[in-house]
Structure 1
Amino acid sequence: MTDEQGRPPGVLDDLVRRLVNETGITEAQAAELVIFLGRNWASLLREARILAGKR
């Protein structure tokens, strides 16, 4: 089984989990960022930190 881009599901799950652990945003917020931004870690981290600062 793969996601819509042909990657195994665990790849995105791990990315979401890492983003949640490193920034403190919710899992839903992290998943939405991954959907919008893709897997670019620098962009994900920047946007997650912005979201975390608004909490």
Structure 2
Amino acid sequence: MSDHASENGNLHEAALDILAKRLAKKADIAEEQARQLIDSIGTDWNALLREAHFLKARH
């Protein structure tokens, strides 16, 4: 893997980490749950919030 591809991968992971932390805080769910939602749904903020609130209501 080239240095450029490695750098892009690290930036992508850092962005997902920030998104997961933001979602966890906003929806009051565990960060691991937020990461799982991002993995299954993608990065659409409205969809993530909707599903996170649904998940929170179920528990």
TM-score normalised per structure 2: 0.79
Q: Secondary structure at the match of 2:43?
A: coil
Equivalent pairs: percent with the same residue? 35
Correspondence for 1:44: 48
Correspondence for 2:3: none
Q: What is the Cα-based RMSD across aligned positions, in Å?
A: 1.4
Question: Which ranges of structure 1 fall in alignment gaps of 5 or more residues?
Answer: none
**2:20 counterpart letter in structure 1:** V
Tell me by how many angstroms 1:8 deviates. Answer: 2.4
User: Which one has a larger percent helix, Structure 1 or Structure 2?
Assistant: 2
Correspondence for 2:38: 34
Q: Secondary structure at the match of 1:8?
A: helix
Q: How many residues align?
A: 52
1:12-23 map, 5 Å: 12-23=16-27
Runs of 4+ displaced beyond 3 Å: none
Higher Cα radius of gyration: 2
Deviations 1:4-46 (A, max 9, x none): xxx5211000110000000111111110000001100000000
